[in-house]
Structure 1
C-alpha cells in the first residue's frame, strides 16, 4: 500500500522547479505592431477624461490636456505670430514672411478641431527643438512654447504656402466623438500617458528605431546617395531564430501588390537587410488584405509589422499640401481610424485572438502640441547626429537634446489583447523600442541596441497572463465617418 502512493510517494517526489521569469509571456504567440503617422498624445487623446465622464468609465490618473484633467486646469497656450507682421506671399526678401515672435505675440489656446483634415505641421529636427524651447532650442529647460511658431514658420516657407500661415493648427485636438473607436479601445484595454517616440525628429529615423533600435546617427531621411543602415533589424533576428514574421503593406494607389511594390512602401528598405528580404523572403511581404485573411484563418505569423497605408491616404498623416482646384482635401483621421479598426477587429473576431496582441501607436508627434517634455534616455550605440545641415539647431550651440539621449514627444498607443489589463493606464516612460524588447523577451532574442535593452518590461506592465481580462473581447463601436474635411479654414 505504501509503495502505491501516500507518504512514500510524496517523500520521493522532488519539489517543482520555480517558474521561469516571464513564464506567462509564453502564452502570447502573435505580436502585431502598427504605427500610424504623426500624432501627439494631446492631439488625439488629450480629451480622455471628458470621454470617460461621458461614457461612465471610472476616472483615474491620465495626463491629458490640462483643461480636461481632474482638477481641471487652464487650456495651454503657445505664443502666436505677431499680427503686426502679416504674411505677404510676394515679400522680398523672403525673411519678411517669417512668423515673428515678440512681446506682442498673442497667446493661441488649445482648441477642438471641427475639420478631420489639417495641414501638416513639421516634426523635423529644427521644428522639434523649436517646440521644446522657442527662445533657446538647445536649453535644458523645456518651455514647450514653440509649436505654433514652428508650424507658422514652416507654412510660410512652403511654396505655395499653406492656408494656416499662423501655425494655429499645431495646438488643436480631437475628442472621443470624432475618434470614437480609438477612445473606446484605449479606455477598455491598456494604454499609456508616458509613451514617447524614440527621437526628436521626423518619420524615417523614428521608424528606424521601431525596427532596429537605432537610426545609426540619422536625424533625417536617407538621401539619394546615402548608404543603407547596417544595423541588425528585428526581422533578421527573428529569421535567424526560426520565428515566423511578415511585413504587411497596403498596395499603392495603382493597386500594385507585387513584392517589389510592397517593398518600396516599407521602411525596411532603409537597411542592408532589406534587399535580403526582397530577394530571399519575398513571401514575407504581404498585403493588408492578406493580414485580414490570415487573422480570419488563424495563420498569423509570430511577429507582424503593418506599415502605414500612406500611398492611399489612410495613415492619418496631416495633409502635406493643399489640393488643386477640383480635388478633395486629404486626409481624414476618421477614414484612417476606420481602416485600422478593420485590422484590429479581424484579430478580435478570429481564431488567434486567444494568444495575440495588437499594439497600435504613432511613429512620431507630427509637430502637434503636447504638454509633456521629451525624456532623457539611453543612446543606442553612441553615434551622434551625423547628417545635420549647416545652420541646423545644434550645429552652432549644443545642449542635452542635441544627441540621441532624449526621446521624441508623447504619442498615442494602446494594446488590444485578451491579456491586456482592463482599463489600464501606464505611467512608466517608454518609447517604441520597448516593443522590440517585448519581442526579444518573448522569443529569447538578444537586445539589438542599448536603447531597447534599457526599456521597461511590457509583459509585466501591460499584461495579465493569469486572469486573462479579455478572454471574451468587448464589442467596439463602428468608427464614425460623418465629420467634415477641409483645409481652408480652422477650426
Structure 2
C-alpha cells in the first residue's frame, strides 16, 4: 500500500543543479526488459514470453514474442501516433468500440503489420516485441545498477514525440495529441518561465538545430538555447545553470541520418545513444558541480515498441479536449497516460541499485509521468508559483527518494560502448 508525503517537507540533500536529457521512442521493456541486477524490477525476467498476434482476434495467425534479441540498427520506425498507439495497447482503434478498463497490451504486432512494417515477414515484426540484451547496452545497464531507475514512469499521452516533449516542460500538451501542429508552436507556460521568475537559471543545449524546444513559442528565440558544445564547456568549468535540458541529435537533417544520438529506431545504431549518455555522464562526473548535480535520463514515448504494463488513467491537465477531425463525434479527453518509458536517476544523492515504483502521493492514484519533472523541480528549488496544471499537481514528485548524505562510490567512467 502506498504512503503519502507530508506537504511542506524540507529535504536535506545537496542537489542544486538538475540536468535532464530526453531520448526518443523506446518503451521500458525495450531497454530495461531483461535487466537482472536485482529482482525488484517489473520487467520480463523470469516470465514466460509474452506474444502478440498479427490478428488479435485470431490466435491461429502469426505471432511474435518477447525476447532479448533486438538489434542495434533497424530500418523500421514502428507507428506511434495516437490511433496506432491505441491499437497497440487495446487491440483496436475503432472509435465505436468501447475500450476496456485495463488495456490488454495485445496489438503491437497487429499495428506493425498494417502500419510501418506492412508486408514485412514475421521475423521483422518480432522487433516490436523484442528487448535489448543488457550486455549490448552496458552504459544504461551500468547506470541502472550503480544508481536508480523507475519502473512505473509513463509517457504523458498515448501518442508521439512532440506532445510528450511539450508535456515534460508544461505538464500539458496544450491540446496536441499528434505532431501536425508543430510548425505553429505551442504557447503553454513552462517550468522554464517559473524558474526564471524565481531568479533561477536554465539552459537548453542542442546537438542539432532546430531543437525540439523550439516548439515552445514563448522560448523560441531565447539566448538560453545554446549548442551542445556549450554544455560540455559549461560543465567542465562548473557553470551549469540550475536546470539544464539536453537535446540529442534527432537525424532530422539528411546528412545526420546515420549519426543521430537520440536512440530512435531507424537508420543509426542505438550505440550512438549509448555513447551520448556516456559522454554526458563522464563530463558531469568530472565537473566541479558533480557533488550538487542530479542527472535525469528519460525517453519521450514508446515509439511503437511493446511494453507489458497497461498505462493507467490520469486527470486531464487543463480542461482541454480535442474533437477528432477524422472521427466526427469522437473526443480525446487527455485522460490516459502513454506507455512506460525507461527513466534513470543519476547523482551522488541517489542510492545504488534503487528501483522506484509508484510514488508516495500526492494522491492515492498518482503516478510518475513527464509532469513529474516540473513537479520535482518545483519542490527541489522551492518554487512558490502554483503548479502548471492539474496533471502536475497529481503526478509523483521524486525528491523524497534522494539521500541525506552524498555517496562517494560513484564510478568516474563507464564501460566502453558496444557496437552490436
Matching of residue 442 in structure 1 with residue 380 in structure 2: yes
For residues 122 and 278 of structure 2, the distance between their equivalents in structure 1, rounded to whole angstroms, comes to 31
Among residues 299, 308, 311, which one is paired with 1:371 in the alignment? 308
For residues 184 and 419 of structure 2, the distance between their equivalents in structure 1, rounded to whole angstroms, comes to 45
Q: Is the 8 A contact 2:154 2:339 kept in 1?
A: yes
SS at 1:35's partner residue? strand
Among residues 9, 15, 24, which one is paired with 2:12 in the alignment? 24
SS at 2:12's partner residue? helix
SS at 1:128's partner residue? helix
Partner of 1:86: none
For residues 475 and 152 of structure 1, the distance between their equivalents in structure 2, rounded to whole angstroms, comes to 45
Q: Is the 8 A contact 2:22 2:299 kept in 1?
A: yes
| Cα-to-partner distance string for 1:352-372 (whole Å, 9 max, x where unaligned) | 011000000100011100000
For residues 73 and 163 of structure 1, the distance between their equivalents in structure 2, rounded to whole angstroms, comes to 26
For residues 193 and 441 of structure 1, the distance between their equivalents in structure 2, rounded to whole angstroms, comes to 22
Quick check: 451-460 or 361-370, which moved more?
451-460
Summarize the Cα distance change of 1:164–1:308 in structure 2 as closer, same or farther, 3 Å threshold: farther
Matching of residue 144 in structure 1 with residue 82 in structure 2: no
Among residues 238, 256, 262, which one is paired with 1:315 in the alignment? 262
Partner of 2:35: 48
Summarize the Cα distance change of 1:241–1:306 in structure 2 as closer, same or farther, 3 Å threshold: same
For residues 123 and 40 of structure 2, the distance between their equivalents in structure 1, rounded to whole angstroms, comes to 36
Q: Is the 8 A contact 1:42 1:173 kept in 2?
A: yes
Matching of residue 120 in structure 1 with residue 77 in structure 2: yes
Structural mapping, 1:426-465, within 5 Å: 426-428=356-358, 429-443=367-381, 444=383, 445-460=385-400, 462-464=401-403
For residues 197 and 418 of structure 2, the distance between their equivalents in structure 1, rounded to whole angstroms, comes to 43
For residues 471 and 409 of structure 1, the distance between their equivalents in structure 2, rounded to whole angstroms, comes to 35
Q: CA deviation at 1:113?
A: 2.6
For residues 142 and 479 of structure 1, the distance between their equivalents in structure 2, rounded to whole angstroms, comes to 39
For residues 70 and 393 of structure 2, the distance between their equivalents in structure 1, rounded to whole angstroms, comes to 42
Q: CA deviation at 1:103?
A: 4.5
Quick check: 34-43 or 436-445, which moved more?
436-445
Partner of 1:110: 66
Matching of residue 131 in structure 1 with residue 118 in structure 2: no
Q: Which has a greater percent of helix?
A: 1
Larger Rg: 1
Partner of 1:61: 40
| Cα-to-partner distance string for 1:98-151 (whole Å, 9 max, x where unaligned) | xx9635313311123352112111111011100122147641231111001111
Partner of 1:74: 48
User: Which 5+ residue runs of structure 2 have no aligned equivalent?
Assistant: 1-7, 359-366
| Cα-to-partner distance string for 1:176-202 (whole Å, 9 max, x where unaligned) | 111111011012211111011110000
Summarize the Cα distance change of 1:111–1:295 in structure 2 as closer, same or farther, 3 Å threshold: same
TM-score by length of 2: 0.87
| Cα-to-partner distance string for 1:281-327 (whole Å, 9 max, x where unaligned) | 32x122212111111111100001011211341111011xxxxxxxx
Matching of residue 298 in structure 1 with residue 277 in structure 2: no
Partner of 2:179: 221
For residues 382 and 193 of structure 1, the distance between their equivalents in structure 2, rounded to whole angstroms, comes to 29
Q: Is the 8 A contact 2:23 2:263 kept in 1?
A: yes
For residues 412 and 315 of structure 1, the distance between their equivalents in structure 2, rounded to whole angstroms, comes to 13
Q: Is the 8 A contact 2:70 2:127 kept in 1?
A: no
Structural mapping, 1:169-184, within 5 Å: 169-184=127-142
User: Which 5+ residue runs of structure 1 have no aligned equivalent?
Assistant: 1-19, 53-58, 82-99, 253-261, 320-329, 484-491
For residues 353 and 145 of structure 1, the distance between their equivalents in structure 2, rounded to whole angstroms, comes to 43
Summarize the Cα distance change of 1:135–1:202 in structure 2 as closer, same or farther, 3 Å threshold: closer
Among residues 222, 228, 241, which one is paired with 1:288 in the alignment? 228
Matching of residue 406 in structure 1 with residue 336 in structure 2: yes
For residues 166 and 472 of structure 1, the distance between their equivalents in structure 2, rounded to whole angstroms, comes to 42
Q: CA deviation at 1:166?
A: 6.2
Q: CA deviation at 1:156?
A: 5.2
CA-based RMSD of the aligned residues comes to 2.3
Structural mapping, 1:168-247, within 5 Å: 168-223=126-181, 227-247=184-204
| Cα-to-partner distance string for 1:421-473 (whole Å, 9 max, x where unaligned) | 2210011131011111111112214311111111222110x311x232x2342
Q: CA deviation at 1:345?
A: 1.3
Matching of residue 471 in structure 1 with residue 408 in structure 2: yes
Aligned residues: 392
Q: Is the 8 A contact 2:187 2:217 kept in 1?
A: yes
Q: Is the 8 A contact 1:361 1:413 kept in 2?
A: yes
Q: Is the 8 A contact 1:35 1:360 kept in 2?
A: yes
Summarize the Cα distance change of 1:162–1:223 in structure 2 as closer, same or farther, 3 Å threshold: farther
Q: Is the 8 A contact 2:23 2:300 kept in 1?
A: yes
| Cα-to-partner distance string for 1:329-360 (whole Å, 9 max, x where unaligned) | x2111121111210111111211011000000
Q: CA deviation at 1:396?
A: 5.8
